[in-house]
Chains A and B, each alone.
Chain A
Amino acid sequence: MSTFEAKNQASAPAGTHATVNLSISGQELLFPPLPYDIHARADAATANKQLQDFVHVATYRKDVTRKQVTSETFGPKHGAFRDLGAAIKQHTLDHLDHYLEMFVERATAAGAKVHFAQTADQANDICLDVARRCGAKLCVKSKSMVTEETHLLPQLQAMGVETVETDLGEFILQLDHDAPSHIVTPMIHKDRRAVARAFERELGAVYTEDPQQLTGIARAYLREKYRRADLGISGGNFLVAETGSLVICTNEGNGRFCTSAPKVHVAFVGIEKLVPSYEHLGVMLKLLARTSTGQPLTVYTHVITGPRRPQEHDGPGQLHIILVDNGRTEILKKETREMLRCIRCGACLNACPVYRKIGGHAYGAVYSGPIGALITPLFRGLANYPDLPNASSLCGACFEACPVKIDIPRFLVQLRSEMVSRKITKLSDRLFYRLWAWSLGRSWTYRIGGWMQKMFFRAKARQRGTLAKGDPYRSRGWLDHLPGPAAGWTSQRDMPTPPARSFRQWWNQERSSS
């Protein structure tokens, strides 16, 4: 039993409200030892009533809202809007060099300093260097998945820069030494009781479960930090090439504080976040807000073009935009390019039955859910995450939800294919499927195989006394135990046996002569 599982079971029996991940560091949650096996965490999650209550209910509700709002807004044009969103992103990716050059030129002309980071370490180093030069002591940070990806915070802290997450969800996770489990709703796996406990323990606040009061506590704490901070860090939802602008969408206004109060602003943005112009940005913002939270527009849509200008009184004097590659150009090179259209709306997580069951931490990586199952193996090695492409029923809910039409199931299958060709797939599986395929390759082997399966199943059912007599095309038996790997099936449910006769037998008897 893994440490996680042990702690998880110990800390979260049904009916209590213990925090799931209190005793495992956030770092370990998103950066587990590799190669990563999903089973322990996934199994613990499905057995965790609290997680099911929070994650399953919340994601299902979000998915319903998304469908409702998108259909109300776009009506029959929803498909066309998705096509447009996909086309805008795909076009930008197909000409990324052109738009990157344009962005750098325009952003620089507006006074920003644009940096390129090939790796996570380089991105962090650039940021640490900026922090050092401006003598930063206190940093306020708005939500950024890229900084999770580069693992920035521990390094800033190690350098002696106190860094405070200001997105309410991320703030609570930071206090709780936990890690985000959803791209958009980072603390989807927690409830307000967990927040109350964290505020009481870490901030010395009076225990309260009232959302208004809890928000008030966070607000008072964070306001003080904004006032004193000398460095602000943000992510970026979009970059507009035409104007060299950085676009940040938040609902709490924390992004605006982080990027305007401190004297220096550093933004971490993946190179795939570009759109050509404002016209295109409009389409993407419409899609993002509606598919991610079901809002017509996020509450704060912040467009930043350059730092404070000489005649202006407010705003940071320096704006650093770090364009992060960290594996993206590798994805761009191949037919996997389409994955980079992702605008991190989280709709695929909410729609995914597997995510609903296991939550984000089970993916063992920064990006979870269907899109995480695709990009994590590409960012961090397929052999390191052999379960992620496989732990999917390929139901297609993610593809249907995706505002930029990334065909996630198709790419998951493509990764499985790569696992087979690179022999990451187990030898026993490779032999089994090839034997199975061989038996399906000619009708006589297929018929013998089907007959043997039927005989085996029915003999077992007869032994168990579950074989029903009656209609030879309908009456069957049931098995509660199957041998070998098939035991996975019967560990959860019974296996029906075939009836006495097959369709083919009926056809040959009744029809072939007519």
Chain B
Amino acid sequence: MKVTLFVTCLTDTFYPRTGMAVVKVLDRLGCQVDFPQEQTCCGQPMFNNGFTEEARALARRMVQVFEDSEYVVTPSGSCAAMIRDYYVDLLKDDHAYAAGAKALAGKTYEFYEFLLKVMKVDLRQLGARWPGKVTYHYSCHLRGIGVTDEAVRLMKQIEGLDYVPLPKAEQCCGFGGTFAIKYPQISGSLVRDKVACIKETAAPYVVSNDAGCTMNISGSCHRDGVKVKFISLAEIIAEALGLLETA
């Protein structure tokens, strides 16, 4: 199976190890992974801030870059949601791109969803083992693409992994892109709530799969001296399968 990676701008720069883990896990599952060098950003920052024309131009670009892909897989629920929920509407009046937008929306998957829905993976059969206690941050944009407990189901397939549910999991961490900068008090108040819930679990690891949320929550933990480690589930799976060295 040919799989194209859309790594996303934040993962590329801030969380490269997550991208590496995704590639290694897909390799292990027998996928042929490619990474088009032309890819940049899905345009969500522009779109969310009302710069519709600019977002449209970036959406067109994405359609072009992934035109020949069979499956597009991304470790970010937020960017997957941008493509799946908004591209079709953004490009509906653009005759050259409307069909391409629909096709891209139809073949784009969040990585964890892809593992379960398309690859029908069972990590137990692959001998996944990762000893450690983790809690999991559910990122809001998964709502938009109908992803619910996929990550939790995967975690439960890993031997030795002790998953502790996060209280108030469905409350936003307060990232929201530039919202975090424009309304710092509201955003800060929300992220401190999230950190308090994390502390309640007493888990030393937080599984967080969206780069934006991770920057926000880990930044708040760092500021307040809360000693937890942030890791993406892709990294855990790669470590559990012996594809990445345990850090």
Contact = CB atoms under 8 A, between A and B. Distances in A.
B5 to A, nearest CB: 9
B18 to A, nearest CB: 8
Contacts of A252: none
Interface residues of A, number: 71
A513 interface: no
A52 to B, nearest CB: 8
A496 interface: yes
Contact of B40 (A354, A358, A443): A443
B34 to A, nearest CB: 9
Given A437-B43, A494-B222, A506 B16 contact: yes
B50 A496 contact: no
Contact of A504 (B12, B61, B144): B12
A431 to B, nearest CB: 11
A440 B9 contact: yes
B19 A503 contact: yes
Interface string B142-164: 01100000000000000000000
Given A450-B9, A488-B180, A437 B46 contact: yes
Interface stretch (B105-113, B124-132, B182-190, B198-206): B182-190
Contacts of B35: 507, 511
Interface in A344-362: 353-354, 356-358
B133 interface: no
6 smallest CB-CB distances across A and B, nearest first, come from A393-B176, A492-B188, A416-B50, A437-B54, A503-B19, A395-B140
Contacts of A511: 23, 35
B11 interface: yes
A354 B35 CA distance: 38
Contacts of B39: 443
Interface of A: 38-39, 42-43, 46-47, 52, 60, 353-354, 356-358, 390-397, 399-400, 413, 415-421, 425, 429, 433-434, 436-437, 440-443, 446, 450, 453-454, 471, 473-474, 476, 478, 480, 485-486, 488-489, 491-496, 498-499, 501-507, 511
Interface string B31-54: 000010111110101111111101
B247 interface: yes
Contact of A492 (B19, B172, B184): B184
B181 A485 contact: yes
A496 B221 CA distance: 11
A396 B141 contact: yes
B74 interface: no
A434 to B, nearest CB: 6
A133 B63 CA distance: 67
B171 A436 contact: no
Contact of A502 (B12, B43, B55, B175): B12
7 contacts: A357-B186, A391-B186, A392-B176, A393-B187, A436-B46, A498-B14, A499-B16
B45 A433 contact: yes
| Majority SS at the chain B contact face | helix
Contact of B191 (A420, A446, A493): A493
A418 B220 CA distance: 33
Interface of B: 7, 9, 11-17, 19-20, 23, 35, 37-41, 43, 45-52, 54-55, 57-58, 61, 140-141, 143-144, 168, 170-172, 174-177, 179-191, 215-216, 218-220, 222-223, 247
B40 A440 contact: yes
B220 to A, nearest CB: 4
Contacts of B58: 437, 440-441
A433 B46 contact: yes
Contacts of A399: 143
Contacts of A478: 219, 222
Contacts of A491: 184, 188
A492 B16 contact: no
Given A46-B186, A400-B143, A450-B9, A392 B179 contact: yes
B57 A492 contact: no
Nearest to A482: B181
B186 A501 contact: no
